[in-house]
Chains A and B, each alone.
Chain A
């Protein structure tokens, strides 16, 4: 069955370190997204991609970067981790880019920055 996976599921790192969170989907979806989830804020969009080599900034992109070298993967990199980036991170993908195209979410990565 097609799916979307994230790794690692849990990560503890130190302030200033570079961290990369992986997202892999087997639906062959063109569109992929990264969100962070914090108490009281719901889900906020970090970056999104509409296809290979395409990336776009979301609402809270500062301190994060993504690159899309193939259809299946959209890794999220924290260039220099900060305590404010402690959060749960969700990756999602969709076939189309409109509101009628369901976004499928991964299980999430819980990141703690000490």
Chain B
């Protein structure tokens, strides 16, 4: 099925640095979601985006819905050790069916002191 391309696959950063990751698709999406997964846990929703061009923040996290509707970006500012985990993008091609939710493969973030 449709797969989102998420990059980078992994990032090794120092505490205090900013982190950027993105997700692209060949199809237009109506909704973009960003999740974080801690080791041994299930994903937790961080940010949801519903309109092209929308920019939304959640603490040190900022996500944007690309204007082409085929991409989304997540930035983490001033990283701290608890930012470690896997970040997933996910998107909807329609507005009414969870059956069409697509996930990216994830970006593994490692923060070193």
Contact = CB atoms under 8 A, between A and B. Distances in A.
Interface of A: 31, 33, 40-45, 48, 56, 58-59, 90, 92, 94, 97-100, 102-103, 105-108
B98 A107 contact: no
A107 B105 contact: no
A8 to B, nearest CB: 14
B43 A99 contact: no
Nearest to B43: A105
B57 interface: no
B66 interface: no
A43 B6 CA distance: 13
Contacts of A108: 40-42
Interface stretch (B13-21, B44-52, B77-85): B44-52
Nearest to B31: A99
B1 A59 contact: yes
A41 B48 contact: no
27 contacts: A40-B105, A42-B3, A42-B4, A42-B88, A42-B90, A43-B43, A43-B103, A44-B1, A44-B103, A59-B1, A90-B42, A92-B42, A94-B98, A97-B96, A97-B97, A98-B95, A99-B31, A99-B33, A99-B50, A99-B92, A100-B50, A105-B41, A105-B42, A105-B44, A107-B40, A107-B42, A108-B40
Contact of A33 (B44, B45, B50, B98): B98
Nearest to A33: B98
Interface in B1-30: 1, 3-4, 6, 30
B113 interface: no
Contact of A42 (B44, B95, B103): B103
Contact of A43 (B45, B50, B88, B96): B88
Contacts of B97: 97
